[in-house]
Structure 1
């Protein structure tokens, strides 16, 4: 029976991950800063989970959490770093306190939990798997989301770096990057306008926390035993491109760039005249 430690387990995605692992028969250690919500999640699992209240902005909390889970339920086989915060914060208004709190939860905590987990696993001579929860924001910033995007981009690089160093010990480190998944959250609220604008994707339906949970369980499990250092995009295809933009060219449209604005063709004998560029007007 695998022992799985999930941070942010009281959240929508973290709770779904816990439920998916529980359905597979895993022994669970659940961590969150909200003890009441954490107890509610554990109750839904039928008492199969141990709970740990942890404030991951405390620099000592991540290591203490892993050690407590290991001591309470035995060696941890899978660590899922699902805790995260997403404040709306413009780069113009960011201050040191807000930046440091965001990076403490979204980047420092998963790095420190991974380090603590790896030290215990290496000492015990055990393999293991780590899954970090990233975000599509790691690839594409949004107004008001610059600091969050920066933290997730850094988390993806930390995932690769940890995978590179820990592979020799049999410890795999990957990330799952959700697209927009609507969850009820007082910690990370979003407006209806934001949800409508960001929710479009090629598959035409919104994401569900269970979509993310199934991906986490798969990449942490034996079927993915030769995968490490990867970021699995689970986003309905939204990271493939900008679905909401109009087509570049439609029959009957007037080209934005006229052949008349094309730089003069080379006079070199045999030279082929230049075609009009497709990116936009020449300067």
Structure 2
């Protein structure tokens, strides 16, 4: 039985990740700034799986809280940095305060918890939850996209420095996942625009939970510094685009226009 700390676990993807570890019989410590929702998630996991679930509510934007979270949880085998915020802020309305809060929660907190995890002096696994925004900017998300790009580099940097301690550090990068989140709401228009992918469906929290669970386990024992894209293939390309030529191209004989000119 492992001891697993999941941040941002009051709901959404992080709660699904916690549930996947609970289903395997692992002991959990959950953290989130939404204390009431966190307590509800913990109670539901205890009732469904019969595992030990501790709660540590707090704001990861507070550096002292983030620095002490691992020690407060107790010796850990797995750390899942799933906490993240993505407010919509047009670039020309950006303030230092708005920018810093996103970086503090999405990047600095993950750095501080991972450093504390590495200092435990025991082997283990860290899984960071990134986003497709790490490689693809969008209006109103300059702070969020930057934070996720930084989180992916942080994943690699930590993997390099913590490998000799037996600590693996990887990331899961979800595509659009349907999540009912009061903390991070999205409109249906936005969801429809970003959820097109080759597999033809929106992601589910369980899709990301399975990936995080696998990366943390023994089957991924020789993987570190990796970013696993779990996005229905949206990173691979856009299946909704039309053919760039009005008709099919005859590979053997050339295009219709080339045949007419010959």
TM-score, with structure 1 as normaliser: 0.85
Per the alignment, in what secondary structure is the counterpart of residue 79 of structure 2?
Answer: strand
Using the TM superposition, give the Cα deviation of residue 252 of structure 1 relative to its aligned residue in structure 2, in angstroms: 7.5
Match of 2:64 in 1: 60
> Pairwise mapping of residues 98-247 of structure 1 onto structure 2 (< 5 A)?
98-120=98-120, 122=121, 126-247=122-243
Supply the distance in 2 between the matched residues of 1:228 and 1:82 (Cα, whole angstroms).
Answer: 18
Per the alignment, in what secondary structure is the counterpart of residue 224 of structure 2?
Answer: coil
Kept in 2, the 8 Å contact 1:54–1:65? The answer is: no
> Pairwise mapping of residues 255-266 of structure 1 onto structure 2 (< 5 A)?
none
Kept in 2, the 8 Å contact 1:2–1:77? The answer is: yes
Using the TM superposition, give the Cα deviation of residue 184 of structure 1 relative to its aligned residue in structure 2, in angstroms: 1.0
Say what the alpha-carbon RMSD is for the aligned residues: 1.5
Distance 1:130 1:246, change over 3 A: same
Unaligned 5+ residue runs, structure 1?
Answer: 260-283
Using the TM superposition, give the Cα deviation of residue 199 of structure 1 relative to its aligned residue in structure 2, in angstroms: 0.9
Deviations 1:81-118 (A, max 9, x none): 00000111122211100000000000000000000111
Kept in 2, the 8 Å contact 1:83–1:105? The answer is: yes
Using the TM superposition, give the Cα deviation of residue 244 of structure 1 relative to its aligned residue in structure 2, in angstroms: 2.9
Supply the distance in 1 between the matched residues of 2:247 and 2:197 (Cα, whole angstroms).
Answer: 25
Answer yes or no: is 1:20 the counterpart of 2:20. yes
Greater C-alpha Rg: 1
Per the alignment, in what secondary structure is the counterpart of residue 196 of structure 2?
Answer: coil
> Pairwise mapping of residues 25-44 of structure 1 onto structure 2 (< 5 A)?
25-44=25-44
Supply the distance in 2 between the matched residues of 1:198 and 1:23 (Cα, whole angstroms).
Answer: 31
Kept in 1, the 8 Å contact 2:80–2:126? The answer is: yes
When the two structures are aligned, how many residues end up with a matched partner? 247
Per the alignment, in what secondary structure is the counterpart of residue 13 of structure 2?
Answer: helix
Unaligned 5+ residue runs, structure 2?
Answer: 250-256
Distance 1:231 1:28, change over 3 A: same
Displaced runs of 4 or more, over 3 A: none
Answer yes or no: is 1:4 the counterpart of 2:4. yes
Q: 1:50 aligns with which of 45, 54, 58?
A: 54
